[in-house]
């Protein structure tokens, strides 16, 4: 049941979606993604599993001086159900 990738959705402050795909599992490629996102403004990395699959994304973000947030419980809540909320 373990995840092998982390999905990322990034939006600008104005609400425009600029990224909606799996994050790479490589430090160099994550740096590239974060740098490209930084061209749109301030970057915040929020994860639901910081100690497992999200650990690399968190470590790279912290090394780059990017703010990291943890949203507990997201991995257990399905938002694709009509009754989710």
pLDDT in tens, 38-58: 999 999 999 887 677 788 999
Q: Is the pLDDT of residue 76 over 80?
A: no
Q: Is the pLDDT of residue 29 over 80?
A: yes
Q: Is the pLDDT of residue 78 over 50?
A: no
Of 44, 47, 43, the C-alpha closest to 74 is: 47
pLDDT band at residue 74 under the 50/70/90 scheme: low
Contacts of 67 (CB under 8 A, 6+ apart): 42, 43, 44, 45, 61
Q: What is the pLDDT of residue 84?
A: 45
Q: Where are the domains of the chain?
A: 9-75
CA–CA gap between residue 35 and residue 79 (Å, rounded): 29
Q: What average pLDDT does the chain have?
A: 82
* Mean per-residue pLDDT, 5-16: 88
CA–CA gap between residue 45 and residue 58 (Å, rounded): 7
Q: What is the pLDDT of residue 1?
A: 43
CA–CA gap between residue 5 and residue 67 (Å, rounded): 21
């Amino acid at each position: 049941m373990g995840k092998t990738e982390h999905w990322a959705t990034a939006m600008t402050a104005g609400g425009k979606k600029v990224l909606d795909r799996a994050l790479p599992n490589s430090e160099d490629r994550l740096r590239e993604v974060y740098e490209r996102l930084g061209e749109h403004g301030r970057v915040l990395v929020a994860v639901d599993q910081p100690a497992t699959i999200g650990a690399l994304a968190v470590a790279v973000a912290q090394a780059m001086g990017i703010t990291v947030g943890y949203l507990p419980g997201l991995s257990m809540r399905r938002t694709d159900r009509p009754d989710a909320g």
